[in-house]
Structure formats: C-alpha cells, structure tokens
Amino acid sequence: MSDVGAIVKPTFDAMKLKAEFPILARTVHGNVPLVYLDNAATSQKPRAVIDAITKYYECSNANVHRGGHALGAEATALYEDARSIVASFIGAQPNEIIFTRGTTESINLVAASWSSMMGETLKGCTIVVTEMEHHANIVPWQMACEKTGAVLKVIRVHDDGTLDMEHARELINDTTAFVSVVHVSNTLGVENDVRTICALARSVGALSLVDGAQSIVHHAINVTSLGCDFFVFSGHKLYAPTGIGVLFGRANVLESLPPYQGGGSMILDVTFERTTYNDVPVRFEAGTPNMEGAVGLAAAIRWFTALDLEALRVHEAELSERLLRDLNTIDGMRVFGPQTLHAGIASFVIDGMHAHDLGTLLDEQGVAIRTGHHCTMPLMKRFGVTSTARASIAAYTTHDDLDVLSAALLRSVRLLR
C-alpha cells in the first residue's frame, strides 16, 4: 500500500559531488585517505573554480578599468560581472557590492570609515557586539572606540550557547550608534536572530552589520529581508579562492562614508592641493584589485547555485544532527553550543585531553579538524576553556566521513587514556 501524500525528502549525492574536488582524493601521512572536516576555517575548491581561475590567467589576465586594449576590456567585464553575480546572490544591487580581501577587511573598512566620519560625536555613545564574536568583529570596534570615545557593549551568551536576546534589548537603546553581530558562530555553530537585532538597531537609529562568514554557505541570504545596513563574507568559505571578500552596504549609507584607503581607481581627479573621490563602489577599492579572486568567486557562486540547494539543506541538517549525536555518545565529551539552530559546526573537548593532542591523533588517522580558540578568546573564557577541537561540514561531507571521525575519536580516546 503506497503512502499517498507522504513527504519525500530530496536526496543529495555528496559522494558524487566530492569527485568534483581534486584535493579530496588525496591521501596524507603516507597512504591515509583524507577526511576534511575543517570547513569552517576554509572550504576546498571544486574543479569548476580551479578551471575558471586557470582560464582567466591563460586568456584574459590584465588590470581592470583602465586598460585600452582587448585583455583589459575582458578582465574588466569579468570583474564587473562578478560584482553583479554577488549582488544577485544576496539580493543586493551591484553598486552596493565592494570587493575586499575577506570578512576581516570588510569589517575593518566599515569600522574605520564610519568612525572617521562620526568622530567625536560618538563620545559616550555605544557600539554593541556579542560575546560570541570572532576577533575580527571585536578588535576593529575597540579601535573605533579608542579613536572616538565610544563605549563597547557586549550582549551575553546563555550557558547553552544561545544569545541572550533580553540582554540585547537592554543594550540596544538610545545611546547605541552601531550594532555588529555574527549570523552563525564559527565556534558554536548557533544561528542568531539577526533580523530582530537589526530591527532593534534600526528602531533606535543605529546602523547594523551582520558577519555572514559562516552563514553565507549554509543559509539563503537576502540582505533586504535581514534588514542590515552592512553584510560581510569571505569567498574562501564559499568554495572560492582565498583573498577575496565582500562588503555589502546600503547604497545611501555607502555614499555617506569617506574612503578607507587612498590610491588608484578610487579617485576622479588628483592634484597636490586636493583629491576628488570616485563614486561608490570603486571609492572603496583602491589599487589593483584581486581580479583572480573575483573571477573565482563568481565561478563558485555559479557552481553552488546550480546545486539542488533544497536537497543540500536537508543533507546538511541531517549531517549536523548526526555529528552532534555521535559526539554526545563519547564518554567524557563536552559539546559547546545548542543542539538546534545549528550549522554543522561543533566545538568540543574531552575530559583529560588537550584539544591539540586530540587534533594531532585525528590528523594521523587522516581526519582534518581545527583546534585552538578559533579567534574567539572571549567566548572561550566565557565557557572556562582555553581551546576546543572543532569539526565542521560542507556540501561534500558524507556520512562515511562522520563514520571515520567517530571511529578516530574513539581510537584517540583509548590511546590518550
């Protein structure tokens, strides 16, 4: 008897997808198959991205915007096409997309340019971040506070790793000038309610920035629906090359900001007496940009959006649930963060073992994970540890990979105990 009307979950063939990533076929330490579970740090690159970069260098390499020759025109077209592809991917307009070196530079650009514009008017005002921020979303704001006299306020994290939204409502008030918050924690894997946080900022006249370094690859992003003034991410976590990042800024906000750096491209006219700056977005792209990175990012987005994203979300949700379940079965295991609203990032420690020792033993068995403080030292302090081990999934992660991780963890526990 058939189940008429039964819901059929879409299937995703991660094993087939893995074949598109040359590096995932290699071995380590002699002849040990590689299981790569360090995707929150950086993803591997599919053949489509590698080929796009190779083709660019073989056929179209030139500097952009100023070359009066065929290669210059081709390189410029590829670079600006990449800007349009990124804009469409996150629901923005091309003139709202600025290419940077990554999430870190994007946040630094906003913090430095905005605080320079605001100056002493920020004295006594507050800039609000959360306790789970990456250092890249803490240090630039500390520097802005030191420069302007603003005060940094921090939204607390609950014991289960979720954000204290009541505390957020207390801190985001009439004194608040800027709110900068991570969408998905790179340590806890938790997804924050950034729509509500951005709405709170907007209600008191503050600007908002969302750090999408981890969410960009696991969630469909529309900057309009998020309600943020700025959204930032790095290409290398989205199957694209390193050294390319994106800053989205609402057009009217970007137009109000002064340049971040000076040099070529970002100018209209230069004399020794004064300089007239170019329009947004090139006003914020001084010097020769990362053309290769932009081409690779465009190729990565084309490749990624051609996948069955509905099936991929189901696959990643199943892997996330499985990863947490497997970890929690190991004696002495402590997993940080919630068991729901999770993005396939799990940080953990095992009683009596140093995270670095555990990482070394896993590496010897071919399993690549991350160990350390994950650039979230205040969060580590909050949970009373100095470092954790971290496993993180990607589109090419399979259930077989998690089988290998579980077996390697159990073997490591026996060896270390």
Residue carrying structure tokens 């650009």: 109
Q: Which residues pair with 163 in a beta bridge?
A: 157
Of 97, 88, 135, 95, nearest to 246 (Cα)? 97
DSSP state for residue 258 in the 8-state scheme: P
Question: What is the three-class DSSP state of 180?
Answer: strand
Q: How far apart are the first and last CA of the chain?
A: 53
What are the structure tokens assigned to 202, written together? 């907007």
What's the CA gap between 53 and 79, in Å, rounded? 12
Cis amide prior to 281 (ω within 30 degrees): yes
Tracing tokens 């074949």 back to the chain, one arrives at 19
- Beta bridge partners, 32, equal 28
The number of beta carbons lying within 10 Å of the beta carbon of residue 310 is: 11
What DSSP character marks residue 59?
Answer: I
Provide the annotated active-site residues.
375
